[in-house]
Amino acid sequence: MEAEKERCAWCLKTPLYRDYHDLEWGKPVRDDAKMFEFLILETFQAGLSWLTILNKREHFRTAFDQFDVQKVAAYEHDKIMELLENPAIIRNKLKIYAAITNAQAYIRVQQEFGTFCNYLWGFVNHKPIENEFTSLKQIPAKTALSDAISKDLKRRGFKFVGSTTIYAHMQATGMVNDHLLQCDFR
């Protein structure tokens, strides 16, 4: 029988959390569509648990047109009202409006840098930062780099992109590898 793999302790609550840890968290995302999905989900997560977002992820995909950035950027009143009435997602008016604003800003960044991934990965010289933490207590909630990215995103018109949200986004998309050293999924 195969030995159980060692995992970061934060993911042990549910199979959904464990699968996210094993298959996605910390894996470098170089696809703009997937990067946009994570950005939108991270902004909705602000003030909530990531598990709450993961439990609603499929509903978010449906509600937000599979995170098609062009479609989200063009949302108007009727679609906003539909989202505000959708009990399957987080119905925060400011976050819904931020998703639209962020989609519009995202497109502008794509136009300037070729892809959003080119822009964002440029902050880490296009290579993941490999941290070597042995305890969850060592993992920061934000860093000077996430502060700088947050500041630049805000300057470009993005909303709900504080430093803590951006650091979580960097972890989720593999810009930083915060799997503990003893984790078999590094």
Residues serving a catalytic function are 20, 42, 50
Report DSSP letters for 131-179, one per residue: ---SSGGGS-S--HHHHHHHHHHHHTT--S--HHHHHHHHHHTTSEE-S
What the block records as the tokens of 137 is 């207590």
What residue has token string 């930083």?
176
Do 54 and 16 touch, CB atoms closer than 8 A?
Answer: yes
The rounded radius of gyration (Å) of the Cα atoms in the chain is 17
| Contacts of residue 126, Cβ cutoff 8 Å, sequence gap at least 6 | none
CA torsion sign, 87 to 93 to 98 to 103? positive
3-state secondary structure of 129: strand
CB atoms within 10 A of CB 20: 18
Of 118, 170, 175, give the one whose Cα is nearest residue 142. 170
